[in-house]
Structure 1
Amino acid sequence: MTCANCARAVERALKKAGAAEALVNFATEEANVMYDDSTVDLQRLISAVKAAGYGAEPSRSKTKGEDENAFTVEKEHRRALILGIVLGLPLVSLSMARDFGLHLGIPYSAFGLICFLLSTPIQFFVAWDYYKGAYFSLRNLSPNMDLLVALGSTVAYVYSTFSFFSGQKGHLYFETSAMILTLIKIGKYLEAKAKIGTSKAVEALVSLRPNKARVLIEGKEVEIQIEGLNPGMLVVVRPGESIPVDGEVLEGEAHVDESMLSGESMPVFKSKAQKVFAGTTNLDGLLKIKALEVGEGTLLSKIISLVKEAQGSRAPIQRLADKVAGLFVPAVVLAALITFFSWLILTSQVEQAIMRLVAVLVIACPCALGLATPTAIVAGTGLGARLGILFKDGEALEKASSIQLVVMDKTGTVTKGRPRVISAIPINNTGRDELLVLSASLEAGSEHPVAKAIIQYAREMGVELIPVQEFRSIRAEGVSGLVHGKRVVIGRPRWLESQGIPLDRALEEIRKNEEKGHTVVMVGTDGSLSGLFIVSDEIRPEAKEVVGALKAMGLKPLMLTGDNEKAAQRVAQEVGIAEVYSRVRADEKGTVINELRKKGFKVAMVGDGINDAPALAQADLGVAMGSGTDVAIQAGHVVLLGGDLRQLPKVFHISRITLRAIKQNLLWAFLYNLLLIPVAAGVLYPVQGLPHIMRELHPIMAAMAMAMSSVTVVLNSLRLSRSAL
């Protein structure tokens, strides 16, 4: 593909072949296609793309960190470029010598024949891709850059050939057609090399996959290919080796480098029963791991897939460029024809008119328009991936730049999300052990962090859990069930009151602890109050720094929590948040987000991706605090893979610099074409005092400018990869 029109032609071909949806990325040269495999097969779609004049093959997971297709394209451009240079340099030298009056004793007939013989291989080998692309673009009714290059170079070549063989002895422009093609090929070669650079982030992730794994079979270590792994296998990982599976540590202890997940360089200590992930590196211990997920099921593979999908997606800002690119080539051809006939009428000089026509055709560059957005999206999402920030698509990357309010859930976002019981208080003659047994046994059916804290506390006190019947979990309120024949309810104070359980004897304890910012969990048994747990969740040490960074960026942080107002205010004041929404149930968080949006604000919601999934979906931008969980990856528009709150300001910074690069690229692409096409047409010719190169822009200079315009866009996008955050 040579420009955005090619991408649209492929999309139309896929849809015509039966695809329900097709999205083709010009920068990465990949297509995301949705189709019903009961009515359309993959081979039919591939054939449709080939019939449209483009190559296609199924996307496949690579075990090597290189994009074979990108390197193949770069190699083809290099081969054609070498031929163009080898034949073009003597051709240009000979032509320039004659232009300066140095005939070198070569008669005109020999000179013309040498020029013809040197330029013809360039015209039909170096330019073959352009002729082929031009033919298919016309057949697909989607004229593209190939048509402009083919027309421009062919006009100069055919005119020179006719002039020489007809014996007119006029000026020959073989070197013009040859240098146009060679210079544009230089641009395409540099562009291909630069495109390889934009995919470095995905390559880096792919390269983390080991090719082999060491497994235990009947007590013996056997080395097998990674494709031979299955869930349940026992994998041995020695110091310095990459972990090949997502699994659970059965034996051993080690520090593991998980920077590919979190962007955090500090190793994480792993021991028995802890989870490890494929692509992370065992630094210093021997680990025996039970494989839970292998191959495409691993978190690393899912991250690679999502990053590639994001890089292949379109940002809303690209729509304008796509519309312009669709009309661009026909408009340029029309402008070239108008230029030709205007010069012919005004000067009666056919050669001058042809040179202006060729210059207009050659200088126009739809490539820059087509590359402006996707190359920046690829670079921006790649930068995020290296830092443990996963943007789900180009739209999320763009939306983050316009956010005004950042709503942060308290538990698990502002706090560590690992609550601990600091006190258990029996009431109404309930024994302490009885309170712990009833509460911990019932909470064993819940996944809530507070439930886990109560269970952990009970176990530390030596309590054994007993079976529970009729367990029920009431979202955002609490749990209930039969424990040892007793009806037990556990939850928020107001919920127990709604269940008819009086709290009179605990009101002072509730008030005192809520003022301290603690969470109070009430326990009722058979309609009476049995006791309460005082639970505390430690504030993240980096929370205050993050809130300050958000404010410095012009963003307003807010906090959302189900806690009482006093507890919420204590936490908010400590981290520097002025506005707080307290006593908000999980199912009410989405309503709060919608109310803020109705007031005209662009809202980001930051949560754990589990309890906050509805609110994340309601926000303009949902940021999920994940620790490599599937739930977190599915919940947010953006995922902080390591659960590190310090990455949050970087989300908005990456978005802003990416959008700035897109705007710079689009501005460059539009201004380049708007300003230089008229210059190539000769509008500055009557202006005395200007340099000759501006008054009469030679087609060779036009080709040089065109070649560098798209390279400039790609290099500007590549700067994002080296941005300091």
Structure 2
Amino acid sequence: MSTDSATDAAGRQVDLAITGMTCASCANRIQRKLNKVEGVTASVNYATEKASVTYDASVSTDLLLATVESAGYGASLPSQPVDAPERPGASLRTRMLVSAMLSVPVIAMAMVPPLQVDGWQWLSLVLATPVVLWGALPFHRAAWTNLRHGATTMDTLISMGTLAAFGWSLYALVLGSAGEIGMTHSFDLVVDLGRRRDGADNIYLEAATGVTTFLLVGRWLEERAKGRAGAALRALLDLGARDVAVLRDGAETRVPIDRLAAGDVFVVRPGEKVATDGVVVEGTSAIDASLLTGESVPVEVGVGDDVTGATINAGGRLVVRASRVGAETQLAQMARLVEQAQTGKAAAQRLADRISGIFVPAVIVLAVATFLGWVVLADDVTAAFTAAVAVLIIACPCALGLATPVALMVGTGRGAQLGILIKGPEVLEQTRAVDVVLLDKTGTVTTGRMELRDVLVAPGEDATQVLASAAALEDASEHPIARAVVAGAAERGLATTTERVTDFASLSGLGVRGRVAGTDVVVGRPGLLRDEGLSLSVALEDAVSSAREQGGTVVAIGWGGAMRGALVVADAVKDTSAEAVALLRDLGLRPVLLTGDDAVVAARVAREVGIAEDDVIAGVLPADKADVVRRLQGEGRVVAMVGDGVNDAAALAQADLGLAMGTGTDAAIEAGDLTLVRGDLRVAADAIRLSRRTLAVIRGNLMWAFGYNVAGLPLAAAGLLNPMLAGAAMALSSLFVVGNSLRLRGFQPRG
């Protein structure tokens, strides 16, 4: 997009790629800056690192880029060629691993007196220097950027705390008595109130390195979660065909999909994907659209029928005229739905980021006031500096940095054992407030596979013979319903190869015909058999009507002038779905069945699993699923969505909490917040329980971390805590946070 073309009409929209954000407060700052520009409405998503901006003709994209840069961050237009940046996750991982290797011996020597050999403090300095200056560089850089623009974040406190601990240690080693060979740290946690200590014999390198390493671990975990944000769109677009056989002058020419134009005629062979949206001009077949629409029953198509790109031709050869290509296809439109839902979702700010707006400046002011107070009242610069450093060290958020990542690591580790994958800490906050859970039918509540449910026979007919004859004939067909009949016969011990089939013919869209053991047999839609002159008894007709009312698909079979029976196939409900619905209700949730199938099929499934008739939404198109979520959210509901198909991806992204079945498509999995690996709906209830428990532990950790700061800061400011004791208290608070988080290992599923 050029600047000129971007400003030639009102109401233009652009997605800016943002760089340099380190926390949710950065996204808020950029959003506020952009929204202050007249004619601009912006939403900045920290997770996807994008700013979705709507602007009028009086605003240029150059102004938008300059506004973001004036806030201290980088921005670029999506069409501008840029060098691929180094992956933040890879860079952070290197910093984290190197810092961890260097920090472990520093912490061990400081905390375990027998390890303090002669010169240990100088060895600690050598090991700690690269950790503080290089490992913590992202925090220092972010703190400096924020400082230049008059703002403070947790990065500011992290940078000041680590540099203060390192700077004081360097002072104590070079100018104090801490550098003397043979010096050891005493580990006395009792403060001698009768003697003021200047701390000149103490070093705090373990505090500087420990804080850096712990927070690098948290930042790396966060970057990993953010890196998945665009995968849902990639998974959607990967569904499309890569090339296509175009008919030109009667000959087939295979060309890349991007060379296909509207109006071109192309061929789709059995088993191939339909290259793009179009209209059938030759042939008949069954189209498997389950990946795209979620409907379990294949759709019969013929000349004049519309077909959708990325669906699969499950039957005969089709010739299709392309009607929509590229960005106009249904697949591309679904991709845009996912992107809009992700961009529109409010960025979940961690509690630490929200409080840091007040906490960080307050700590800095307190440290400065402590220093000035001691200088004025006690006329002791050394003691003043010691107390000020103690304030910064005890406020340095070591436990705060551990609060979220450690609980998340334990919670997600336990979840992985149970088949639950939690993508990041930001998804947990919604689990507590969720009150409605939308359940996709096909592949989530049901197996997603057609199965033989019943064999209906006319009076006087043998059910085994009817099924054996039908299965023998259907064994030559690749139609999904035919495969269900054959599989059902095999499960009942009937071998289709025992009946010899000759003169087989497929009647596309209607059924099949052939000779079975010397008898002419027809299997297909009841209408086909009527057209063939095969009469239907009243009793069998009543049974067929009843089966249809129950949501089954009926395939009739006949020979010798009469219909001998009918086979009922349907998408089977999973054995665990009814129990799962009950478990979800126990969590205070209202289960709602959402499906693209018709109302009769949906009502049957709802009855089987215990969902109320009023809580069934049937006949929903892919785009409408996200609309259903938005409608419920507009009514004040907090919505969870459980799904597995591409058609669920937009709804999963739009929902406050998306739970994707791991047995489903990549697009659904990547759009969801939680992934249920086992494909068992009961795991959805366990996932919500585990998420709520993990969130409770995180909040408990954060409350302890801030509570420890609130209690310790006054003592440090009063000179009752020297920096060493402050560092020890900080280490103990970290141990508490780790211990509290480890309780999640005992989580037990109910399903």
TM-score range, shorter chain: 0.5 to 0.7
Cα distance change of structure 1 residues 680 and 492 upon mapping to structure 2, 3 Å threshold: farther
| Corresponding residue of 1:45 | 86
Q: Quick one: distance in 1 between partners of 2:455 and 2:209?
A: 74
The answer (yes or no) to whether the contact 2:132–2:163 under 8 Å persists in 1 is yes
Cα distance change of structure 1 residues 149 and 88 upon mapping to structure 2, 3 Å threshold: farther
The answer (yes or no) to whether the contact 2:432–2:692 under 8 Å persists in 1 is yes
| Corresponding residue of 2:377 | 346
Q: Quick one: distance in 2 between partners of 1:438 and 1:603?
A: 48
| Corresponding residue of 1:387 | 418
The answer (yes or no) to whether the contact 1:563–1:582 under 8 Å persists in 2 is no
Q: Quick one: distance in 2 between partners of 1:70 and 1:118?
A: 23
Cα distance change of structure 1 residues 511 and 605 upon mapping to structure 2, 3 Å threshold: farther
| Corresponding residue of 1:148 | 161
| Corresponding residue of 1:129 | 131
> 1:283-314: CA deviations, max 9, x gaps?
xxxxxxxxxxxxxxxxxxxxxxxxxxxxxxx9
Q: Does 1:599 align with 2:625?
A: no
Query: Does the residue aligned with 1:554 lie in a helix, a strand or coil?
Result: coil
| Corresponding residue of 2:332 | none
Query: Does the residue aligned with 2:611 lie in a helix, a strand or coil?
Result: coil
Q: Where does 1:519-598 land on structure 2 (aligned, <5 Å)?
A: 519-521=552-554, 533-535=567-569, 539-560=573-594, 572-573=606-607, 575-581=609-615, 584-587=618-621, 590=625, 592-598=628-634
Q: Quick one: distance in 2 between partners of 1:385 and 1:702?
A: 37
Tell me whether 153-162 or 704-713 shows the greater mean CA deviation.
153-162
Deviation at 1:697, TM superposition (A): 2.4
The answer (yes or no) to whether the contact 1:357–1:681 under 8 Å persists in 2 is yes
Cα distance change of structure 1 residues 439 and 384 upon mapping to structure 2, 3 Å threshold: farther
Cα distance change of structure 1 residues 451 and 434 upon mapping to structure 2, 3 Å threshold: closer
Q: Quick one: distance in 2 between partners of 1:190 and 1:396?
A: 22
Tell me whether 365-374 or 650-659 shows the greater mean CA deviation.
365-374
| Corresponding residue of 2:715 | 679
Q: Quick one: distance in 1 between partners of 2:23 and 2:421?
A: 27
The answer (yes or no) to whether the contact 1:329–1:366 under 8 Å persists in 2 is no
The answer (yes or no) to whether the contact 1:88–1:178 under 8 Å persists in 2 is no
Q: Does 1:420 align with 2:452?
A: yes
Q: Normalising by structure 1, what TM-score?
A: 0.54
1:321 aligned to which of 328, 342, 352 = 352
> 1:27-66: CA deviations, max 9, x gaps?
xxxxxx9998994445x637xx8xxxxxx8579xxxxxxx
| Corresponding residue of 1:224 | none
> 1:670-698: CA deviations, max 9, x gaps?
2232332233212xxxxxxxxxxxx7223
Cα distance change of structure 1 residues 607 and 127 upon mapping to structure 2, 3 Å threshold: closer
Query: Does the residue aligned with 2:204 lie in a helix, a strand or coil?
Result: helix
Q: Quick one: distance in 2 between partners of 1:592 and 1:157?
A: 61
Query: Does the residue aligned with 1:534 lie in a helix, a strand or coil?
Result: strand
Q: Which amino acid aligns with 1:130?
A: V
Query: Does the residue aligned with 2:621 lie in a helix, a strand or coil?
Result: helix
Q: Which amino acid aligns with 1:129?
A: V
| Corresponding residue of 1:696 | 720
Q: Quick one: distance in 1 between partners of 2:376 and 2:467?
A: 104
Cα distance change of structure 1 residues 643 and 7 upon mapping to structure 2, 3 Å threshold: same
| Corresponding residue of 1:707 | 731
1:375 aligned to which of 398, 401, 406 = 406
Q: Where does 1:335-484 land on structure 2 (aligned, <5 Å)?
A: 335-418=366-449, 419-423=451-455, 444-445=478-479, 450=481, 452-454=483-485, 456=487, 462=499
Cα distance change of structure 1 residues 127 and 623 upon mapping to structure 2, 3 Å threshold: closer
Q: Quick one: distance in 2 between partners of 1:175 and 1:466?
A: 95
Deviation at 1:655, TM superposition (A): 1.0
Q: Unpaired runs of 5+ in structure 2?
A: 1-19, 31-43, 50-74, 148-154, 179-194, 224-344, 460-464, 515-521, 528-535
Cα distance change of structure 1 residues 579 and 675 upon mapping to structure 2, 3 Å threshold: farther
Query: Does the residue aligned with 1:724 lie in a helix, a strand or coil?
Result: coil
| Corresponding residue of 1:74 | 100
Deviation at 1:81, TM superposition (A): 3.6
| RMSD of equivalent CA atoms | 5.8
Q: Quick one: distance in 1 between partners of 2:546 and 2:604?
A: 13
2:741 aligned to which of 695, 706, 717 = 717
Q: Quick one: distance in 2 between partners of 1:670 and 1:331?
A: 13
Q: Which amino acid aligns with 2:730?
A: M
Q: Quick one: distance in 2 between partners of 1:373 and 1:401?
A: 17
Query: Does the residue aligned with 1:45 lie in a helix, a strand or coil?
Result: coil
Cα distance change of structure 1 residues 602 and 467 upon mapping to structure 2, 3 Å threshold: farther
Q: How many pairs align?
A: 508
Q: Which amino acid aligns with 1:150?
A: L
Cα distance change of structure 1 residues 618 and 144 upon mapping to structure 2, 3 Å threshold: closer
Deviation at 1:120, TM superposition (A): 6.2
Q: Does 1:178 align with 2:202?
A: yes
The answer (yes or no) to whether the contact 1:148–1:333 under 8 Å persists in 2 is no
The answer (yes or no) to whether the contact 2:555–2:568 under 8 Å persists in 1 is no
Cα distance change of structure 1 residues 356 and 563 upon mapping to structure 2, 3 Å threshold: closer
| Corresponding residue of 2:542 | 508
Q: Which amino acid aligns with 1:585?
A: G
Q: Quick one: distance in 1 between partners of 2:405 and 2:503?
A: 56
Deviation at 1:652, TM superposition (A): 0.7
The answer (yes or no) to whether the contact 1:407–1:606 under 8 Å persists in 2 is yes
Q: Quick one: distance in 2 between partners of 1:362 and 1:434?
A: 80
| Corresponding residue of 1:655 | 691
The answer (yes or no) to whether the contact 1:119–1:175 under 8 Å persists in 2 is no
Deviation at 1:555, TM superposition (A): 1.9
Q: Percent identity?
A: 33
> 1:94-146: CA deviations, max 9, x gaps?
xxxxxxxxxxxxxxxxxxxx9xx886665665456335648954665564524
The answer (yes or no) to whether the contact 1:608–1:632 under 8 Å persists in 2 is yes
Q: Which amino acid aligns with 1:334?
A: V
| Corresponding residue of 1:633 | 669
